[in-house]
Amino acid sequence: MIQTIVYPFLLVSLLMTACNSTTATFTPLPKPATAVRNWFGIELTDVQTGETFTMNDYAGKVVLVETMAMWCPNCIVQANEVRKLHELLGNTEELVSVSLDVDVNEDAVSLKEYTEEWGFDWHYAIAPREIARALGNLYSAQYLNPPLSPMLVIDRNGDVHQLEYGQKSAASLEEFLRPYLTP
């Protein structure tokens, strides 16, 4: 008689304890630096010059990376703020800007025309699938959603810093970047 009452009670208690979400905590494992930096070595082609480059080519500099698409009106606004940022900073050689087109339906010829039409003079490249995948997996799938104006900064040590989503003014970009640009 006791077994028919106690065993079900113990089983229910055990299940409730195991399934109680307030007692379980999830701490994501930090991503190894090598995983974060693997995409730094993937070759990109600047659509304006035809020259190839990697993020590793800019080791020791500060790199501002923006994901974008040509159809995205927010991307044009954000790129104009990047242009203003370079004017604010006096086009310092210590800051490299790279805009990565993450739309798989866009091509280098069209992107080159886009940069010429808007007068954007920093690096623009079509993001290879490996880079798009790395950005989405390492940082957030939102890096593949250009209207959110996703941006990140790679500092002089190769560490990646994510900026808040949404439009960023040249002044707010300058404020964010200033500590990384100061030697």
Q: The domain containing residue 127 runs over which residues? A: 31-181
pTM attached to this predicted model = 0.78
Give the strand pairing for 123-126 and 44-45.
unpaired
Cα distance between residue 164 and residue 161, in whole Å: 10
CATH code of residue 61: 3.40.30.10
Question: What does the pLDDT read at residue 18?
Answer: 38
**Does residue 58 form part of some domain?**
yes
Question: What does the pLDDT read at residue 143?
Answer: 77
**Does residue 23 form part of some domain?**
no
**Does residue 117 form part of some domain?**
yes
* Amino acid residing at 64: L
* Amino acid residing at 165: Y
Question: What does the pLDDT read at residue 16?
Answer: 40
Mean pLDDT of successive 10-residue stretches along the chain, which has 183 residues: 50 40 36 64 95 94 94 94 92 88 94 95 93 85 81 92 91 93 78
Domain count, the chain: 1
How many Å from the N-terminal Cα to the C-terminal Cα in the chain? 78
